[in-house]
Structure 1
Amino acid sequence: MDRSQSQMQILLCDDDADDRFFFSEAIKELKIDNALTVFESGLDLMDYLKHPENHLPHILFLDLNMPCKMGLECLKEIREDAQFRNLVIAIYSTSATEQDIEDTFSNGANIYIQKPSDFKKLKKIMHHILNLNWQYHTAGLNKETFFLNI
């Protein structure tokens, strides 16, 4: 998979249609040159990632609570594959339980975002996430910087 294209390649995996809609609208309003690819299930996401002709995204936003294949299962499977070692994974969930945060941190996610309840806050979070220097952010990753609080 190649990441050399100039557009920011973004993947979103979320089973909730409203959340997918608001996410894509927030990304559009940020006016960042991007290609957003959306998946409704972890199974579809994993099929896409494992297909050699598909581009490796710059960032993957991954919901945790999905039918068939949960986000944590996807995270573990992704992190077990060396070709995805540098893939930035942002957990994007309504949950903010300590257990979910701990499980995703220990299994290699880069950041944890609790889904915001309003569109303005979502845009602010997306702007922050998409403009992060991930190399710097992940170099100093610890539990305090893992859970995004804006």
Structure 2
Amino acid sequence: MSYHRILQIDDDSDDCELFLEALEAVSTVNYTAIYNPIEALRKLLQKEIEPDIIFLDLNMPIMSGIEFLTEIKKDIKLREIPIIIYSTSQLEDIIREAKEYGAQDFISKPNNFNELKNILKQYVVAD
């Protein structure tokens, strides 16, 4: 499935910049980055942003990705938004836990820019 409005929730602005560069190389979708998961949750609940898909980091200081998943799944409309975990973690237990909490998929952050572009091509409308 291809998505047009992408939200990335990640406290690392460098990771968000790299994600955006790779995204722009493969598509012209609408992209929003929010560095604070609590702010992202508030904006989603208040319909200030309405993404088609969310890329979510797990390791954030204010609210973890798992805590965010738990909260978003409580809302009847928000729970339908696909959430892709986009994290440095590669532990099987963490991947399984994220999927149990409702994540659609789990992507380990690649070190290679071209690999990231290829991953994103699976989720976005290509130009």
Q: Check whether TM > 0.5.
A: yes
Aligned residue for 1:79?
73
Q: Partner of 1:42 in structure 2? A: 37
SS at match of 2:15: helix
Gaps of 5+ in 1: 1-6, 132-150
Count of residues in correspondence between the two structures: 123
CA distance in 1, matches of 2:13, 2:79: 29
- Name the structure 1 match of 2:93: 99
Deviation at 1:41, TM superposition (A): 1.5
For the residues of structure 2 that align with 1:73 and 1:60, how far apart are their CA atoms? 15
Match of 1:70 in 2: 64
Q: Secondary structure at the match of 1:65?
A: coil
Is contact 2:58-2:87 (8 Å) kept?
Answer: yes
Q: What is the match of residue 144 of structure 1?
A: none
Task: Specify the alignment match of 2:28 in structure 1.
Answer: 33
**Identical amino acids, percent of aligned pairs:** 37
Task: Please report the TM-score for the alignment, with normalisation by the length of structure 1.
Answer: 0.77
How much has 1:85 moved relative to structure 2?
2.7
Question: Which TM-score applies when normalising by structure 2?
Answer: 0.91
- C-alpha RMSD over aligned residues: 1.4
CA shift digits 1:20-40 (9 cap, x unpaired): 11000011111x231111011
Where relative contact order (Cα < 8 A, 6+ residues apart) is larger, the structure is 2
Contact 2:29/2:124, CA 8 A, preserved across alignment = no
